[in-house]
C-alpha cells in the first residue's frame, strides 16, 4: 500500500511540474476541435444555400473530427514537447542528483513520466472530442459512421503520439542538452525518408532507364512514425472520401505504429538505465554513439553536396567530387564542433573523413557509372510471370482512360492494372533490345543522330510478387520486327487503349460519334454505333506496326457520352459526367473505311482550293515574318503538301511532319458559316519551292 501511494504521489508531483504543458495541450485541443467546428458551422449557415447546408455541415464535421490536419501537427509537436519536458531534468546535473536522492526506483520514475505524458494528451483530446460531437448533435449533425471514424482517428493519433514520444525520448537519452536533442529528434524522425528521397533523386538522375513508377519502393516507410503516419493520413482521407472500407488501412497502420512504439520505448528505458549522470550538459551522452551517428549523417550529406555541385557545374564529374569533399569536411567540422562544444575541435577524428570519403565515393560511383548494371536489366525468364509495355506513341498518349467510377486515370496506370502479356520471350527480347541501345541515349531522343526513337515504360511482374519498372528506348526503324510482335500480342492490343473493357462497352449505345480530320467533321447516326465500333475493333486488332509506322492517321473518331455514376450519391452534386474518347483511323483500316464510305464519308478528304480564303505560313527555321498566300494555284500546291496537326497527333510514331513550318489555313465564311482555321504542317520533303524561296 505504501508503495502504491508513493507512486501516486510521484505521479502527482510530476504532473505539477508539467502544469504549463498540460494547459497548453488542453487549450490547443479546445481551439482545434469545438471552436473550429463552431466557426465552420457559423460560416456555413451564413453563406450556404439551405438545400446544401446539411451535407456541407456533415462534411465539415468529418473534416474536424476525423481528418483534421491540425490534429496531426499538434500531435507531433505535443509528443516532442512531452518527451523533452518530461526528461528535461537530465540536462541539469543538480536536478539529476536531486531526483536520484529521492527514494523512488528508476522504473517507477520512468513509468510516472510516461503515464503523465500520455494523460496530458489523451484526456483533453477525448474530452474536447466528445464536446465537439455533442455540439454537432445540437446542430442536427449526428452521423454514427463519422463519430466512429472520429474515435478511430483518436486511436491512431494516440499511437502516433506514443511513437513520436518514444523517438524523441531516445534522442533525449542520447544527448545532453536541449538544442542537440531537438536536432537529434529531427534526424531520427526524418532520416529514413530523407535517405530514401536521396536515393530516389540519384536513381532518377543517373539511371537512364529509371521510371517514376519505381518511386513506391522509396516512399514506403518502415522505421519512422512520421513517414508511416503521413502515408496513413493520405490513404485514410482518400478511403473516407470514396466511401471505402477504412479498417484494413487503420489496422495496418495501427499495428505498425504500436510495434514501433513498443520497441522504441524499450530502447528508451534501456538507455535511461544506462545513461551516465555526468552526461548532463554534454552534447552526447554516450561516447560510443558519437562516431556512429556522425558518420551516418555525413554519408547522405556528402552525396547531397555532390549532386548539388554536379548540377551547378553542368554535370561535371569534377564538380561532383568537389561537392562531395566540401560536404564531408563541412559536415564533419560542424558535428565535431557541436560534440565537443568547441570550434577548435572541428578537425578531430580525421579518420572519419577518410572513411566517409570511401563509402560515399563508392555509393556515388555505383549510381554515376551504373556499376550494378541497372540500365542493362533483363529479367530472368524463369522468374518472369507477365509484363506490361506502355508504348509512348502519339495516339496512345492522347487516349482517354476511366476507372469503374468514371474518374480519369493515366494510360500507364490503366495498362499496368489491366495488361498482362504472358509471352516471356517477347518481354525478354524487348528488354535485351533496349539494353543494347543504352549507349545511344546520350545522343538525344529524336535528335538528328537518333531520329527514330520509340520510348516505352515496362512493368515486369516476377514470381516473387515484385514489380520491376523501366523506361526503355529503341530505334523503331531498326526494330520493326520486334514492334510487329508487340502489336500482334492480343493482350497488348486489347489493353493499350480503352476500347475493349466493360467501362467502354457498357456505354456503347450512348456515344455520339464523329469522324474528323479537321478539314471535315461528320456526325454519325447513333443507331449504328455497334456496327461502327465492331468494325473499328476488328481493324485495330488486325493492325500491325508496319501498317501504321510510315503513314499519318487519316483522321480520328470522337466518341463522347453523358453517363451516371451510381457510386456517387452526393445530394448536392450532379453525378452525371461526360466521358470522351478519340481513336485514330488509318488507311489500312478497311472495315472502318468501308463503313464510313457507306455513310458518304471519304476519310482522306481535305479541302477544295476554291474554299480557302488564305493560307499563312510560319517559318521557324530562319524566323522570318509570316507569309500570307491568297493565290489559288499556290493554295492548291500547299493543300497537296500539308496534313493537319491532328493527323500527326493521332499517328503511331512522331517526326512525320516538318517542325520548321506551321501552316494556318483559313476557309471562306460560306464554307463553315464563319471563318474557320485549320493548323497544318508540311510532310517532310514536301515543302513547295516557292515557300522555301520566300
What digits encode the pLDDT tens for the residues 404-452?
888 899 999 999 999 999 999 999 999 999 998 887 766 555 556 667 8
Give pLDDT tens digits for 476-491: 988 999 999 999 999 9
Asked whether the beta carbons of 95 and 89 are under 8 A apart, the reply is yes
Contacts of 263 (CB under 8 A, 6+ apart): none
Distance CA 179, CA 186 (A): 11
Give pLDDT tens digits for 10-26: 777 777 888 999 999 99
Confidence check: pLDDT of 9 > 70 = no
Band the pLDDT of 274: cuts 50, 70, 90: very high
Q: Which residues pair with 667 in a beta bridge?
A: 612, 676
- Grid coordinates 525478354 are at which residue? 428
Give pLDDT tens digits for 118-144: 999 999 999 999 999 999 999 999 899
Determine the pLDDT at residue 568: 53
Q: Using alpha carbons only, give the angle 432, 435, 437 rounded to the nearest 5 degrees.
A: 115
* Residue ranges of E strands in 505-660: 512-516, 521-523, 555-564, 576-585, 612-619, 627-629, 642-644
Q: Number of helices and strands (H, E) in the chain? A: 28, 12
According to DSSP, the β-strands at 555-564 and 576-585 are: antiparallel
CA Rg value for the chain: 33
Give pLDDT tens digits for 138-184: 999 989 999 999 999 999 999 999 999 999 999 999 999 999 999 99
Distance CA 494, CA 81 (A): 57
DSSP type of residue 34: I
Give pLDDT tens digits for 364-389: 999 999 999 999 999 999 999 999 99
| Percent of the chain predicted with pLDDT > 90 | 70
Give pLDDT tens digits for 395-411: 888 899 999 888 899 99
Asked whether the beta carbons of 384 and 460 are under 8 A apart, the reply is yes
Determine the pLDDT at residue 259: 98
* Greater model confidence, 206 or 437: 206
Amino acid at each position: 500500500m505504501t508503495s502504491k501511494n508513493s507512486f501516486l504521489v510521484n505521479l502527482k508531483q510530476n504532473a505539477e511540474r508539467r502544469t504549463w504543458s498540460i494547459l497548453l495541450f488542453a487549450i490547443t485541443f479546445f481551439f482545434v476541435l469545438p471552436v473550429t467546428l463552431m466557426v465552420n458551422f457559423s460560416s456555413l449557415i451564413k453563406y450556404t444555400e439551405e438545400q446544401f447546408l446539411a451535407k456541407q455541415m456533415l462534411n465539415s464535421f468529418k473534416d474536424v473530427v476525423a481528418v483534421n490536419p491540425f490534429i496531426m501537427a499538434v500531435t507531433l509537436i505535443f509528443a516532442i514537447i512531452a518527451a523533452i519536458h518530461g526528461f528535461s531534468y537530465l540536462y541539469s546535473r543538480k536536478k539529476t542528483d536531486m531526483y536520484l536522492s529521492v527514494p523512488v526506483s528508476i522504473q517507477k520514475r520512468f513509468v510516472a513520466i510516461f503515464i503523465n505524458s500520455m494523460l496530458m494528451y489523451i484526456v483533453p483530446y477525448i474530452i474536447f472530442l466528445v464536446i465537439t460531437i455533442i455540439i454537432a448533435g445540437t446542430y442536427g449533425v449526428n452521423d454514427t459512421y463519422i463519430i466512429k471514424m472520429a474515435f478511430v482517428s483518436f486511436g491512431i493519433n494516440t499511437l502516433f503520439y506514443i511513437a513520436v514520444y518514444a523517438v524523441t525520448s531516445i534522442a533525449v537519452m542520447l544527448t545532453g542538452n536541449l538544442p542537440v536533442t531537438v536536432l537529434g529528434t529531427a534526424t531520427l524522425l526524418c532520416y529514413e525518408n530523407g535517405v530514401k528521397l536521396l536515393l530516389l533523386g540519384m536513381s532518377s538522375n543517373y539511371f537512364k532507364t529509371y521510371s517514376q513508377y519505381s518511386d513506391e519502393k522509396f516512399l514506403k516507410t518502415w522505421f519512422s512514425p512520421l513517414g508511416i503516419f503521413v502515408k496513413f493520413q493520405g490513404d485514410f482521407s482518400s478511403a473516407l472520401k470514396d466511401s471505402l472500407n477504412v479498417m484494413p488501412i487503420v489496422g495496418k497502420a495501427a499495428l505498425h505504429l504500436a510495434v514501433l512504439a513498443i520497441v522504441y520505448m524499450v530502447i528508451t528505458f534501456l538507455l535511461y538505465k544506462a545513461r551516465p549522470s555526468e552526461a548532463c550538459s554534454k552534447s552526447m551522452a554516450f561516447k560510443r554513439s558519437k562516431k556512429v551517428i556522425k558518420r551516418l549523417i555525413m554519408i547522405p550529406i556528402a552525396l547531397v553536396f555532390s549532386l548539388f555541385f554536379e548540377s551547378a557545374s553542368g554535370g561535371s564529374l569534377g564538380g561532383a567530387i568537389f561537392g562531395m569533399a566540401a560536404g564531408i569536411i563541412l559536415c564533419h567540422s560542424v558535428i565535431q564542433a557541436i560534440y565537443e562544444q568547441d570550434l577548435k575541435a572541428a578537425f578531430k577524428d580525421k579518420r572519419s573523413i577518410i572513411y566517409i570519403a570511401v563509402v560515399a565515393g563508392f555509393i556515388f560511383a555505383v549510381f554515376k557509372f551504373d556499376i550494378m548494371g541497372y540500365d542493362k536489366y533483363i529479367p530472368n525468364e524463369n522468374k518472369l510471370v507477365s509484363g506490361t509495355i506502355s508504348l509512348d506513341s502519339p495516339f496512345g498518349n492522347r487516349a482517354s482512360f476511366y476507372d469503374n467510377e468514371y474518374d480519369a486515370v493515366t494510360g500507364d496506370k490503366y495498362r499496368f492494372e489491366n495488361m498482362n502479356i504472358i509471352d516471356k520471350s517477347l518481354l525478354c527480347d524487348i528488354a535485351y533490345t533496349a539494353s543494347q541501345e543504352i549507349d545511344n541515349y546520350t545522343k538525344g531522343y529524336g535528335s538528328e543522330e537518333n531520329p527514330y526513337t520509340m520510348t516505352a515504360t515496362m512493368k515486369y511482374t516476377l514470381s516473387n510478387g515484385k514489380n520491376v519498372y523501366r523506361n526503355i528506348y529503341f530505334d523503331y526503324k531498326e526494330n520493326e520486327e520486334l514492334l510487329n510482335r508487340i502489336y500482334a500480342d492480343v493482350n497488348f492490343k486489347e489493353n493499350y487503349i480503352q476500347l475493349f473493357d466493360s467501362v467502354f462497352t457498357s456505354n456503347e449505345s450512348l456515344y455520339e460519334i464523329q469522324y474528323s480530320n479537321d478539314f471535315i467533321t461528320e456526325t454519325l447516326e447513333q443507331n449504328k454505333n455497334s456496327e461502327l465500333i465492331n468494325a473499328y475493333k476488328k481493324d485495330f486488332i488486325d493492325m500491325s506496326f508496319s501498317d501504321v509506322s510510315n503513314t499519318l492517321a487519316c483522321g480520328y473518331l470522337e466518341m463522347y457520352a453523358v453517363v451516371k455514376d451510381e457510386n456517387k450519391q452526393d445530394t448536392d452534386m450532379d453525378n452525371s459526367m461526360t466521358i470522351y474518347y478519340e481513336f485514330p483511323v488509318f488507311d489500312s483500316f478497311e472495315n472502318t473505311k468501308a463503313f464510313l464510305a457507306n455513310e458518304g464519308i471519304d476519310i482522306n478528304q481535305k479541302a477544295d482550293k476554291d474554299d480557302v480564303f488564305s493560307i499563312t505560313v510560319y517559318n521557324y527555321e530562319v524566323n522570318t515574318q509570316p507569309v500570307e498566300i491568297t493565290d489559288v494555284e499556290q493554295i492548291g500546291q500547299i493543300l497537296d503538301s500539308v496534313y493537319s496537326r491532328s493527323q500527326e497527333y493521332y499517328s503511331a510514331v512522331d517526326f512525320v511532319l516538318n517542325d520548321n513550318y506551321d501552316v494556318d489555313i483559313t476557309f471562306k465564311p460560306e464554307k463553315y458559316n464563319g471563318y474557320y482555321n485549320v493548323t497544318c504542317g508540311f510532310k517532310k520533303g514536301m515543302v513547295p519551292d516557292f515557300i522555301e524561296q520566300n
